[in-house]
Amino acid sequence: MKHSIFYLFILCSLTSCNFSDSKDVSRVAIAKAGNNYLYVDEIKNIVPANTNAKDSLELLTKYIDNWIHEALVIQKAENNLTTEQKNVEKQLQEYRNSLITYAYENELVKQKLDTVVANQEIEKYYSANQADFQLKDNIIKVIYVKVNKKAPNMAKLKQLYKSDSPKDREQLAGYCHQFAINSYLDNNSWLLFDDLLKEIPIQTYNKELFLQNNRYVEVSDSTNSYFLNIKGFKIRNSISPLSFEKENIKNIILNKRKLQLISKMKEEVYNDAANNNKIEIYIHDKAKK
């Protein structure tokens, strides 16, 4: 019954019924919280077109309730804060200035940043900063194949995944294309060992010891078989290999260039203003003393 009455109240408002306590008599009020009024023209776009009466009522009720809560809290703050505390103009100006500066710097970087990083520069940075590239996790180079237990030629697969022969590697790729559920055959790239363990049902309490004592691993679960040829590994807390850190170093170098570009721009802007007598510093006599 309350909902029906409220819906009629809203309907009346939307058809230009007036309220005697409305502060702005030229507008139609739909709610009041303290000294604040919510007007019909402020909520006319709240309800999407073609929304049924029940959903419209729920949306409007929720919106008005949230508006009342917010309005009352704002009024409470207004009444309890000092004039200085309520003066947010300075903060707003600082925020606006930071947004404008950020947008300009981004546009400058987009137009002028050299994004080409030579391998020689990456290698030089790696050599000079190896202490910064300590591994936090174990990494491996690996050949990995996952197949259904009923896959054909399993004996051949067991031979192929262990082989370093280019011909056998080509045959392994063909086999995986036909029968593998999942595979990884790029033994020149480093992977996180933990990522691989998410794919293979290996139970180990000492990952470092497992890597040191296993080269070929074959395990199974109820439906699948897993074949692992560990071609190389690096234990956590050792120095991370360059190939694993290459993209990271590239990003570091680009970020340094970005900061240098912005710093140079700021210095040029200052020097240009100084050379054209656009900078003046006023020191009062009392400050001099």
What is the average pLDDT across 24-35? Answer: 81
pLDDT for res 122: 96
pLDDT for res 282: 84
Lowest mean pLDDT among 41-55, 161-175, 206-220: 41-55
What is the average pLDDT across 230-243? Answer: 93
Place of tokens 């409220």: 6
What is the average pLDDT across 9-32? Answer: 59
Q: Which residues pair with 139 in a beta bridge?
A: 192, 234
Q: Are residues 248 and 121 in the same domain?
A: yes
- The two beta strands, 139-148 and 224-234, are antiparallel
Q: Are residues 43 and 166 in the same domain?
A: no
pLDDT for res 101: 95
| Residue 2 confidence (pLDDT) above 50 | no
| Residue 280 confidence (pLDDT) above 60 | yes
Q: Are residues 154 and 118 in the same domain?
A: no
Greatest distance between any 2 Cα atoms in the chain: 95
Q: Are residues 147 and 230 in the same domain?
A: yes
Q: Are residues 209 and 78 in the same domain?
A: no
| Residue 35 confidence (pLDDT) above 50 | yes
* Domain around 49: 2-83
Tell me the CB-side half-sphere exposure of residue 265, using CA atoms within 13 A: 17
* Burial 28-41, CB ≥16 within 10 A → b, else e: bbbbebeeebbbbe
Whole-number average pLDDT of the chain: 87
Q: Are residues 144 and 229 in the same domain?
A: yes
Q: Are residues 37 and 164 in the same domain?
A: no
Residue at 69 is within a domain:
yes
pLDDT for res 285: 56
Residue at 211 is within a domain:
yes
The CA-based angle 145-146-147, given to 5 degrees, is: 120
Which pairs with CB-CB distance under 8 Å and at least 24 residues apart come from 53-56? 53/7
CATH of the domain at 153: 3.10.50
Handedness of CA 21, 24, 30, 35 (dihedral sign): negative
* 54 vs 156, higher pLDDT: 156
Residue at 93 is within a domain:
no
pLDDT for res 155: 93
When divided into structural domains, the chain yields a total of 3
The dihedrals phi and psi of 227, each to the nearest 5 degrees, come to -125, 130
Report the candidate in 199, 203, 198, 202 with the shortest Cα–Cα distance to residue 182. 199
pLDDT for res 33: 87
Q: Are residues 125 and 197 in the same domain?
A: no
Q: Are residues 148 and 223 in the same domain?
A: yes
Residue at 60 is within a domain:
yes
Question: Using DSSP, how many helices (H) and how many strands (E) does the chain show?
Answer: 11, 7
Contact 249, 241 (CB under 8 A): no
